[in-house]
Amino acid sequence: MRDYLILHCDTYGFLPEHRDQLVDLYDKIFADELAKGEFLRAHDILLEGGPGRYEVMRPHLDAVDKAVGSHRFTTDLLLFICGGLALKEKYKKLGIDEGIWFDTMGDVVCKYRECFDVYGIVGVFTESWHCRFFWPDRFQLGRMQYETCTWGHDEEFHGVKRGDPAVTVHIPSTLQPFDRAARMDSYKKAYEFFCDRYRNLFPDGKMVICTHSWLLFGEHRKFLKGCPNILSFMDDFEVIVSRYDEDGRDLWRIFNTMNHNVDEFPTDTALRRSYVDHLKAGGLPGSGYGAFFIDGPEFFAI
């Protein structure tokens, strides 16, 4: 597991000093019998899969932090990286391509970078988010991530009713292209993957892909400038609900800070400049829920 930790960090581009910090923590944990036992128990719980895993793991991880003096963000990151080795074996047993495993494990890197940018800590602060990757029931397919869900609205959507199966898409903060070609490639990969592996849910080849995201905030069309990929992404969906968010809970995704002082927000990108202008003019941030319907493989021939 230690060798895999080093390989993971080097392969996915962790800063060398951050890799060394994680390896040092690993060595400290495995030199302490109590911490080692608690860490391995958390690891087993993670790989058991199913909902609520993080809440069950947390007491064991707290015991690790207490024993070796680690920060919970860093211990969590170490656990999610180490779990990747067993997840690879899960993929193999399920007959899922190793390339999908490799891309999916890249999510940990996105969250590590976000944590360091926001808090200056080598770790992850999106704890329970990661667990579903280890069921496994969330997959990176091309540029984006997907998991099964059920349609949660009373209104039918192209014949899909409340409780019917659907697929949720997530947009990780990678540096990969986010233009229409990259997105369509990802949607196609997801459609083929879920029609194959979840054919009991989508036996007729019809599928709704949906998401709730700050990217789908309806006001974007009024104030975003120089952000064609976001506006193009909005065009992929029928935006069903758009809401204001007075608490600005997603602003950290844009500005890499939990500080909501607009005067201190960076303005080094078109997106950030557009948001600062919007907020200073009295505007609010928000989010939206949208979906689109794939009626069969011919959808991708357009």
Q: What is the pLDDT of residue 52?
A: 86
User: Among positive and negative, which fits the CA dihedral 270, 276, 277, 282?
Assistant: positive
Beta bridge partners, 288, equal 213, 242
- What are the pLDDT digits (tens) for 116-170? 999 999 999 998 899 999 999 999 999 999 999 999 988 899 999 999 999 999 9
The burial of 83, by beta-carbon neighbours within 10 Å (0-12 exposed, 13-18 middle, 19 or more buried), is given as: buried
Q: How far apart are CA 259 and CA 251, in angstroms?
A: 9
Q: What are phi and psi of 245, to 5 degrees?
A: -130, 95
Q: Give how far Cα 184 sits from Cα of 158, 164, 165, 198, 213, Å.
A: 20, 24, 21, 20, 18
Whether 167 contacts 209, CB under 8 Å = yes
Tallying the residues shown for the chain, one arrives at 302
Q: How far apart are CA 251 and CA 235, in angstroms?
A: 22
Beta bridge partners, 209, equal 167, 292
Amino acid in the structure at residue 120 = G
Walk me through the domains of the chain, giving residue ranges and CATH numbers: 1-136 (no CATH), 139-302 (3.40.630.120)
User: Among positive and negative, which fits the CA dihedral 95, 96, 98, 101?
Assistant: negative
Q: What is the pLDDT of residue 34?
A: 98
Note the maximum CA span of the chain: 59
Whether 121 contacts 108, CB under 8 Å = no
Average pLDDT by consecutive 10-residue portion of the chain (302 residues)?
96 97 98 98 93 92 98 97 96 96 96 96 93 94 97 91 96 91 97 96 95 96 95 96 92 95 96 97 96 94 72
Q: What is the pLDDT of residue 174?
A: 87
Whether 209 contacts 294, CB under 8 Å = yes
Q: How far apart are CA 47 and CA 86, in angstroms?
A: 7
Beta strands in 228-267 (DSSP E): 238-244
**What is the reported pTM?**
0.94
Q: What is the pLDDT of residue 58?
A: 95
Q: Please tell me whether residue 95 adopts helix, strand or coil conformation.
A: coil
Q: Which of 218, 200, 221, 220 is nearest to 290 (CA)?
A: 218
Whether 274 contacts 223, CB under 8 Å = yes
Q: What is the pLDDT of residue 128?
A: 86
Q: What is the pLDDT of residue 302?
A: 62
Q: Which of 115, 137, 122 is nearest to 53 (CA)?
A: 137
Whether 145 contacts 133, CB under 8 Å = no
